[in-house]
Amino acid sequence: MALNKAKIITVTSVKGGSGKTTTVLNLAGILSEMQQKTIIVDLDLYSGSIAASLNINGETDIYTLCEDMMNNRFEQLSDYTQKYNEYIDVLSAPIDPRSVSKIKAKFMEILISRLTLIYDVILIDTNHIIDQINLVTLDLSDEILYVITNDLMDIKSMKTMVSIFKDMDRHNYKIILNEARLNNTSYSLYEITTIIGANIDYVLPKSFYNKNIEKFVYNGKIMTLDKNIARSKGGQIISEIVHKILKEK
């Protein structure tokens, strides 16, 4: 059991296709190497792919946990999570997307409060939709990581989010520019920061794109658990993100 209250890290985006889920998995890989007891909570409720990416199959998910908690059938969290390795557990998105509407925002507060007593790190993968569940999750987060690509719509949408955070006087977020996602556009870092009105905190280089990524997904492997990838420039940036966040504990 974790001795300290868990660090809550939420990884999100302003639109789909940014490489958000891959970033979550790579963060988890570094945390695992650091022997941090970590749970990945897949809050991309309609199209979560954490379990599929890790070749995890189970009959329980975040919906069944929610239902049992709310109806006094809950006994222990381990009945609903799946173990990836010694340090990484997974709480999967709903197997049946029709059940998503039955998950209420107040459940997230109960769930996260319980997880903080068990884990060192709660790593939340969510989507770009601004709904009540995501708003509650962002409020509960210690650190919010926005993953964007070198794409004009992505950049302009991030500008809107930066404006919202400024209005709310919120500063617990970082912006990760994922240049490892291949696209046809290429704005300079200066152009991106000018449009957004904020600094880019981290850049995942194009070299971090691994041509064998499909093999990793097919085999249910996390890239940063591969020593060569962990030592690459992109792997070192992921490691830097993790270390800086944990230093703030």
Phi, then psi, of 131 in degrees rounded to 5: -115, 180
pLDDT given at position 226: 95
Render 35-87 in DSSP notation, one character per residue: T--EEEEEE-TTT--HHHHTT---S--HHHHHHHHHTT----GGGT-EESSSS
| pLDDT over 50 (residue 2) | no
pLDDT tens column, 134-190: 999 999 999 999 999 999 999 999 999 999 999 889 899 999 999 987 666 689 999
Q: Give me the domains of the chain, ranges plus CATH numbers.
A: 7-247 (3.40.50.300)
Mean pLDDT taken over the chain? 92
pLDDT given at position 1: 43
| pLDDT over 60 (residue 249) | no
- Give the closest residue to 131 by CA, choosing from 45, 42, 61, 22: 45
What percent of the chain lies above the pLDDT cut of 90? Answer: 78
| pLDDT over 90 (residue 229) | yes
Q: Enter the tokens of residue 89.
A: 């557990």
Q: Enter the tokens of residue 218.
A: 């097919």
pLDDT given at position 4: 65
Poorest-confidence range of 29-38, 147-156, 179-188, 236-245? 179-188
User: For the whole model, what pTM was predicted?
Assistant: 0.94
